Amino acid sequence: MIKGEQVTRTAVQSEVVLPVGERGEVDYSGVVSGQALATQEQIDAADEVIRELGFDPDTVGATVQFRRPRDENGQIMSDQPMTSATVDALWIKKPMPRKMSGEEFSYVQPAPAVVRPTKTRVRTMNRRSDKTALVIPDIQIGRRLDTSGQWHNFHDVEAIEVARMLARYIKPDYIIFNGDNNDFPSLGKHGADPTVCGTVNWTLQQNHDVYAGFAADSPESIQRVLSGNHDNRLPRYIREGAPELIGIRQAGANGRLGGLALTMDWLTNLQALRDQGVDIQWLEGYPNNDYWLNDRLRIIHGDMVNSKGSTAAKLLNNNPMSSVIFGHVHRIESHYKTTMGSGGRPVQHSAHSFGTLARVDGAVPSYHSSLGADESPMRYFENWQQGVGLVEFKKGDAPFNVTPIPIHTHDGHVAFFDGKEFRPTAA
């Protein structure tokens, strides 16, 4: 169709001169920019242009501008033959897939994925070298009497029962009571409060019964009882009010004095439990008393409270050389920190609090608590959580694992551990 007298090739633009007299102006209605915008005449002409340039129109596409002559009024004469064509762009056509019938077409299925279980190294704990400890925080045994004659406990009987259930199930090597096992409000700043007077003997008996109960549930467990600031109210009361009784001892046989009297060990009669085979000991000397489970983990009661933040983080920053389990704050907290030890060896330390077994509804005398007209405690929910903690460890310089076990006070005192649910029998 096109017999050009001259063909100009450039990298950007090529022009083919058509043998139809004098050139007219550009006819933009004939721009080929995809076949949908062009007439069949223009498509055929564009293919001829591509061939004139030495390419195959089946593999090379082009944008072509055609020119037609104008009449004396300047209008393009669309019924006249095209006089020239300019190629603005060339490109390689992407081959389209051949249409296939359903019988011809087939999918290439990927090979099935092979999923294999990861290799594991699981070792059952050795009871001779691997130890467990159940930590019991802040029971705060105590009570007050309102004007109607009703007693209101400070400790939570149902939470203590759940803790005993866990001890019976776990059978830990150690049961550690980490302080504030008693409240003793009448021996502290609440001494003038008549609703708490006369409760010391009852408190001591309840305290003994708690240790006896845990011994019944887990007879082989070693029990260690740390004094907290509330437990320390009794010896301080003696020291400040009756200093002559400091260090007083029982009378002994053969003219020799016996053991110390008026100690917490003596007053709670732990000797009666020892006579039954229970390994139990009270550790006085708050706030510097402690118990080391292994060379890395120290248990204390604590004397620090960060009411608007993490006490665990603050305590760990103040004691960066060892990990610690503490009480006193009545909140469940954990904080981890990695430091550089001797020789550049990284050392991970942590601090943990497991909450409390005291009531959290305003019954315990505190900064926020108050009494009604009948001297009964007003309902107020402290930012406290109930729970206990389990520690798995080896003796010596060895790592350990700490598992807080919350007791969900407001959902029936339920606790979850090892895929099991623990609820008080009254729930």
Q: What is the reported pLDDT for 102?
A: 57
Q: Where are the domains of the chain?
A: 7-92, 130-422
pLDDT at 30 over 70: no
CA distance 156 to 409: 10
- pLDDT score for 94: 64
Residue 185: exposure state from Cβ atoms within 10 A (0-12, 13-18, ≥19): buried
For the record, the structure tokens of 125 come out as 């704990």
Query: DSSP string of 294-340?
Result: ETTEEE-------TTS-HHHHHHHHSTTSEEEE-SS-SEEEEEEEEE
Using CA atoms, how far apart are residues 182 and 48, in angstroms rounded to an integer? 104
From residue 46, alpha-carbon distances to 55, 67, 82 in Å are: 11, 12, 11
What is the rounded end-to-end Cα distance, in angstroms, of the chain? 99
Q: How many helices (H) and strands (E) does the chain have?
A: 7, 20
Supply the DSSP symbol for 111.
Answer: P
Question: DSSP states of 152-179 as a string?
Answer: EESB-HHHHHHHHHHHHHH--SEEEE-S
Per-residue pLDDT averaged across 25-31, rounded?
A: 40
Tally of CA atoms within 13 A in the half-sphere of 104 that contains its CB: 4
pLDDT at position 124 is 77
pLDDT score of 206: 98
Q: What is the pLDDT of residues 89-135, one digit of tens each?
A: 777 776 655 665 555 556 677 778 888 887 777 777 776 679 999 99
- Asked whether residue 1 carries a pLDDT value surpassing 70, the answer given is no
> Which pLDDT score, from 0 to 100, does residue 218 have?
98
Given this model, what pLDDT does residue 144 score? 96
Q: Which of 37-46, 187-196, 399-408 has the highest mean pLDDT?
A: 399-408
How does strand 386-394 pair with strand 332-340?
unpaired
pLDDT of residue 329: 96
d(CA 369, CA 363): 7
**Listed range (17-31, 123-137, 354-368, 398-412) with the worst mean pLDDT:** 17-31
d(CA 405, CA 268): 28
User: If pLDDT is split at 50, 70 and 90, which confidence band does 25 have?
Assistant: very low
Domain covering 130-422, topology: Purple Acid Phosphatase; chain A, domain 2 (3.60.21)
* Secondary structure (3-state) at 411: helix
Greatest CA separation for the chain: 148
- List C-alpha distances in Å: 423 to 67, 207, 360: 93, 22, 18
Span 212-219, average pLDDT: 98
